[in-house]
Amino acid sequence: MTGERITVFRAGTFTAEPEPPWMKSVRAAASKMEDWDKALERVLGERVARTAVESPTWTEAEVAVRRTPGGGYFVDMMAVEFTHAEIWIPDPADWLPFNASYIDPFLLTRATIRQNECLDRLTNALIAFARHGEGLHINRMTGESRIDEREDLERRKRHEIRMRATTAQNA
């Protein structure tokens, strides 16, 4: 959240409460440094934990946890589609319920999506190999056949040429 409020998880519920003094210090440091993560590190110290779901080219999801003054936790949850949540858990007793109810399902969902993408890529590669033999023509990022991609592109070009010719004849 922006402004003077922060999302807080306390006794099983979320509320928006006034920012604690340490968050004001983080925002002030971030405006000077222009780097949110470095500002968090300067004010709160190193991350206690960082868990990420990685793909070969990018981070699918990440959860970073830092201790806050008074023994609580600040949780930063991010996903590849630019969703982002910052939650303060001031009471350490609320950490396990929050982790079990929100962090674990978030990471499990992201990992399942990543696993499905890998299976889709393998399926595409098997189909491409079965259709055309040798594996040299398989796109390593998608698993799809470059032969099929090239043929589709040529088919679209022929179609566009026919449409232009038809349009020119009708004009």
pLDDT in tens, 139-156: 666 667 767 777 788 888
> Do 86 and 47 fall within a single domain?
yes
Q: What was the pLDDT predicted at 1?
A: 40
**How many Å from the N-terminal Cα to the C-terminal Cα in the chain?**
58
The pLDDT tens digits of the residues spanning 65-89 come to 999 998 899 998 888 777 788 999 9
- Position 89 scores a pLDDT of 95
- For the chain, state the CA radius of gyration: 25
- pLDDT at residue 13, rounded to an integer: 92
- Give residue 36's pLDDT: 82
Name the domain boundary from 98, 113, 128. Answer: 113
Which residues span the domain enclosing 78?
Answer: 5-113
Interacting residues of 121 by C-beta distance below 8 A, sequence separation 6+: 141, 142, 143
- Domain stop point among 113, 132, 148: 113
Strands 5-10 and 84-89 come out as parallel
Q: How many domains does the chain have?
A: 2
Q: Could you tell me if 38 and 22 lie in one domain?
A: yes
Per-residue pLDDT of the chain (171 residues; tens, 9 = 90+): 456 899 999 999 999 999 999 988 888 888 888 888 888 888 888 777 777 777 666 667 888 899 999 889 999 888 877 778 899 999 999 999 999 999 988 888 888 888 888 888 778 777 777 766 665 566 666 667 767 777 788 888 888 888 888 888 887
Same domain, 63 and 124: no
If asked whether residues 101 and 135 sit together in one domain, one would say no
Burial 109-146 (b: 16+ CB within 10 A, else e): ebeebbeeeeeebeebbeebeeeeeeeebbeeeebbbe
| Whether 13 and 50 share a structural domain | yes
User: Is 56 found in the same domain as 83?
Assistant: yes
Query: Are 47 and 84 within one domain?
Result: yes
Q: Are residues 108 and 83 in the same domain?
A: yes
Residues 72 and 127 in one domain: no
Question: 60 with 131, same domain?
Answer: no
